[in-house]
Structure 1
Amino acid sequence: MTETTKPLGQLEQPRSSALLWFGIAALIYLLLVAVATIGTGFKTAAKEDAETLFAFATNPFMGLIIGTLATALIQSSSTVTSIIVGLVAGGLPVSIAIPMVMGANIGTTITNTIVSLGHVREKQEFRQAFSAATVHDFFNLISVLVFLPLEIMTGFLQKSAAALVNVFASDAELSIKGFNFMKPLTKPGVELIQSGLRGLGFDDMLTGVLMVALGVVMILVAVIRVGRLLRSALVGRAKRILHAAIGSGPMSGIGSGTLVTILVQSSSTTTSLMVPLAGSGVFKTKDIYPFTLGANIGTCVTALLAATAVSGTLAGAALQIALVHLIYNVLGVLVIYLIPNWLRATHVTDFPIRCAETLAGVASERKSLALSYILGVFFLVPGAMVFVFN
């Protein structure tokens, strides 16, 4: 009997694994359809005047604030950047979208900062966990302070991404059909949604608005669910990889952070995994730091994947903002972290670590400061700035 039951048991795991990966593939498809739905929705609602819908965000600081607030509320930069890709596909100017993706980088760090509060009862653990969590905050804040003024003055991110887009498209229509293999798959889903809403008697304006709203909801559902499924499929293995890789040096940490985030499709997930390890003393803040930088790079894959769902004259713009996100995060790692090491100016590299450790030391003595920090940095300050710059 043991010989008959053993093969049956061995067959159960592949079957459940196949169902798990089928669910992941289905949710990624839903994400692609959702992004295409947002773009089509804006085009349907605004037609040729789509850009007028975004007049309120002409100020780059407003774009930064919107990106920060939206990501802090949704707790997923992957979700927000996918939505931004959809907005650009619907007519949002790339120059306005760039500060929004920068803000998404800031907003996504709220998740691991909240996770660190789980150690609040143990002073030393909380200090270690809060430091490991907020080093990501300080890096992203410094990155914005460095690159946003440069982008406003020179437009170097927008121009660099446009040059890369031209590798794939050379004419005014920016046809990227050569690698846009998702279009034939997403078109039926988008048309089904659009025809269903029109079948209810809605005009173009209301149909477009409802498509945008439905697309956002679909993205939320897809990103949340696919993250859970991928964690079930990969996170146990990822933890073992992290223990072996993070202590091997900065480049190993960056590489493993990038890889795991690509697999899990969520920088919040990967960085949050490290906070308890830091709290328990397994890793120090300086060990966690390069891993979080890799997570910044890995999270760009979602937006790049989403851009493949966009077609038409604005397909190049959607790809451009996805590439801006990638270039921005790679340059941040190079300029703020790696180049100072090459120049032996380690005090620049260590600045986010020193800031995080100093804040954590104060927060461990005054626990209320930790909550004030989260509310202030991610909600109150951005909310107040809305009234200043709007």
Structure 2
Amino acid sequence: MTFGELIMFTVRLLAGTGVFLVGVHLLTANIEQLATGKIKDLFEKTADRRLVNVGIGAATTALIQSSGVTTVLIVGFVNVGIMNLHQAAAMIMGANIGTTITAQIAALSAFPVTTYIQIFVFIGMMMSMACKSDNLQKTGFILSGLGLIFIGLSLMSDAMKYNRDAIQHMFEVVTNPFLLFGIGIFLTALVQSSSATTSVIIAMSVAGLTIGTGGNEVLFIILGTNIGSCVTALMSSFTSGANAKRAGLIHLMFNTFGSVLFFILLMCWPDFMNDTFRTWFGSAATEIAMFHTFFNLTCTILFLPFCNIFVKISELLIPEKKAETAVTYLDERMLSSASIAISQLEKEMILLSDTAMDAFRTAYRSFYKKDKSLIEPSQDLINQAGGIYHTIVNYLIRLSAQSKLSDEENISTLHNNVGDVMRIAEIADNFTKYTQRSIRHDLHFSDSVKAEIDVMVQRLEEMYALTKRLILEKDEGLLAQIDQAEQDIDAFRKKLLNRHMERLHSGECKPECSSVYINLVSNLERLGDHLTYIAHTIEG
């Protein structure tokens, strides 16, 4: 091969690889967005049954065509405490099975019919430009991505066919299993996709090229790709908590142990490929894809009963740090899936509202008991709510920057809701001021007055419990009860203010208490209003 031919070969090969990766990205990104609700439903079915979790991991990865995305999401769920390590370990094993679907698709390029699939690029782009529906546009991009995958594979295969003799001569001399194993690890770690590496190897087989003597050599590269694929999850877990790091380590251990086990098997059985897959299947591309699936399926069957051991080893190697981290449901890894991110934001908003309500309760007790010692704990909770609020807002801004138009309404609603929740924290802050003023000016409120206020506060507690259920359960049937509670609170306010005016006229209440009392009752009514605003955002 001359220098000029080498340059042309490299250009064609890289161009084909680039087209293939663009196709995979289009396919993965749009399937993920189109099926994001189903992905969310799958993850919510997480159970303590290992086979169920394996199935969820496999189905999710097969759906979005990327074990990297699935594993990163799993690491994210572990990091925020939604999923435990035992569940994550089984899901990761399932993800390894699901990722072999891409190789199976690539193996279809060995059949002539796939030439016609390339027309999907044109059909898909016409759909995306002509259709106004967001879902139809995504479907168009999915079709285009599928077509680009086969165009990329065809470009790679053609580049190799043009220089088959020279390339074959180079690959024939590469027979060292350890070198081939290392090549698989390095190339996959470099592109962060085992599917891409495996597909290049499949394109070589379609071009009629063989590695080494044409025996087990190609399988050593496939084994290496499985270890290289762990890089994405490991990198994702570096800046996370101990459990997230453990999930990344479990992924690495599972793939490494499985690859080493099969490495030993292939070393002891030199004719493994000829005696098995080459006998069963007529296409070299299909043989490679089937071995990839067989390897991951076998490893899952072998290691699934030992999930607890993987978890214990990870806990020994990565001990828990003593410093406590703030409880949060948000993780940047989930930003890639808007539906999951929005679901987590709703849970984080409930965490914010619980904190704001705790601040209100503490501030109310401080006022009720005229206890100055409760002011500081209330302020601490108010500050904590402020920190959660800023975390949510920053996360919403990042989600909005990369979300689709169809998600903007939900994001805008969350922006409004967290603002209403923070008004509760502000009301708590007002109550601490009423307490300070009462103590400073020696203001006294009778037990009967406090009892009346307490009835209003109890109704607000009932209203908050209903609103919380409504947000989490999406049960619009609760709206009628919330509206009735809000009407009761409005009536309470009028009733309490009327009674206060009567006490003022009779001299039973001192005028200097009026400012605190009127503002306090008005703030309670405002709290009910904000809960109503939050509740009604669920409509539609």
Q: Which has the larger radius of gyration?
A: 2
Larger relative contact order (CA 8 Å, sep ≥ 6): 1
TM-score norm. by structure 1 comes to 0.45
TM-score norm. by structure 2 comes to 0.33
